[in-house]
Amino acid sequence: MTVAEEGSQALPKIRRFGHARLRLIKAARAAALIALATYAIPLVAVVTRQRALLYHPAVHAIEPAAAGLPRAQALNVKTSDGEELVAWHIPATPGRPVILYFQGNGGGLADRAARFDALTAGGLGLLAVSYRGYFGSTGSPTETGLRTDADAAYGEALALGYRADRIIVVGESLGTGVAVGLAARKAVAALVLEAPYTSTAAVAEVSYWMFSVRLLMWDQFHSDRLIGAVHVPLLVLHGERDEVVPIRFGEELFTLANEPKEFVTVPAGHHLVMRLPGVIPQVLHWIEAHVPSP
């Protein structure tokens, strides 16, 4: 057999090998594209819809009496950037402190009517603000916006005649970040946090571990960076079984806080432990001990 004949017989093998390699390359490219799409599509959805994932407002305002809280008055509060907020005010018994309340990310003031009633039954006042975009308030929620809303609510409390040293700031879940920020900026009497966190980004990483949350999240509410500027008595409440904001985040924030401080673990508690029997009386006892009435 000549050299030419040997070469002509080998060519089909080379071609078959080339075709197989090409198929492998195409399959690898297809797999890579599928993997990229599997990651990229949810990533785009999470990034573009992140505020819809973070904020779940009740948008329709309900009068306090219709919510079962006839003692409360509905107020309109204007912010420095032109938004108009709904707020509920229960006047304090003369000489008693007022609770400046910041809710969590879901629902509205009406959903907390029973809680407000229990907190104020002994004569404490209450001013609870509905964030922008929530429950009859104008605008759309953002971290900067909610902090502006907090400043407006604080100003309203002063305008209603409450002294700064009689204002007790209470934050619930997402609202703990708003409350910590306000207490770090303004003079207040005490701070109560229910289910707090170090940052919303840290909490989001639990569910969205596959994404670079700290780089992509717009509203991170870094309480861990602000709590050191708070120099008033602090009470932290956290459910041991909290799956929304795991208790370790509350413990980490508490470690960063200044004295005097107290951490209350609710063994059977999940998220928002103030709705459990016996918890609000414990909060009221703590308030009386740290912000006593004259």
Assign residue 97 the CATH number of its domain: 3.40.50.1820
Tell me the pLDDT of the chain (294 aa) as tens digits: 444 444 445 555 555 556 666 666 666 665 555 544 445 545 555 666 788 889 999 978 899 999 999 999 999 999 999 999 999 999 999 999 999 999 999 999 999 999 999 999 999 999 999 999 999 999 999 999 999 999 999 999 999 999 999 999 999 999 999 999 999 999 999 999 999 999 999 998 887 755 667 778 899 999 999 999 999 999 999 999 999 999 999 999 999 999 999 999 999 889 999 999 999 999 999 999 999 987
Total tally of structural domains belonging to the chain: 2
Are 175 and 112 members of one domain? yes
What is this structure's pTM? 0.84
Are 41 and 78 members of one domain? no
Inside any domain, residue 152:
yes
pLDDT at 61: 82
Are 207 and 236 members of one domain? yes
Catalytic residue among 140, 151, 231, 270: 270
pLDDT at 1: 47
Are 69 and 116 members of one domain? yes
Are 26 and 142 members of one domain? no
Are 35 and 66 members of one domain? no
Are 82 and 205 members of one domain? yes
Residue 245 is which amino acid?
Answer: V
Residue 270 is a catalytic residue: yes
Catalytic residue among 149, 199, 242, 290: 242
Inside any domain, residue 26:
yes
Closest CA to 150 of 219, 110, 103: 103
Are 15 and 81 members of one domain? no
Are 7 and 64 members of one domain? no
Inside any domain, residue 53:
no
pLDDT at 14: 52
Tokens describing residue 17? 């090998």
Are 147 and 278 members of one domain? yes
Are 141 and 263 members of one domain? yes
Inside any domain, residue 166:
yes
Residue 140 is a catalytic residue: no
The C-alpha atoms of residue 213 and residue 44 are separated, in whole angstroms, by: 12
Inside any domain, residue 55:
no
Residue 173 is a catalytic residue: yes
Residues in the chain: 294
10 Å Cβ neighbour count for 262?
A: 15
Inside any domain, residue 284:
yes
pLDDT at 15: 57
Give per-residue pLDDT as tens, 162-187: 999 999 999 999 999 999 999 999 99
Catalytic residue among 130, 137, 173, 199: 173
Inside any domain, residue 231:
yes
Q: Which domain holds residue 44?
A: 3-48
| Residues 171 and 177 sit within 8 Å (Cβ to Cβ) | yes
Are 247 and 163 members of one domain? yes
10 Å Cβ neighbour count for 256?
A: 14
Tokens describing residue 188? 């207040």
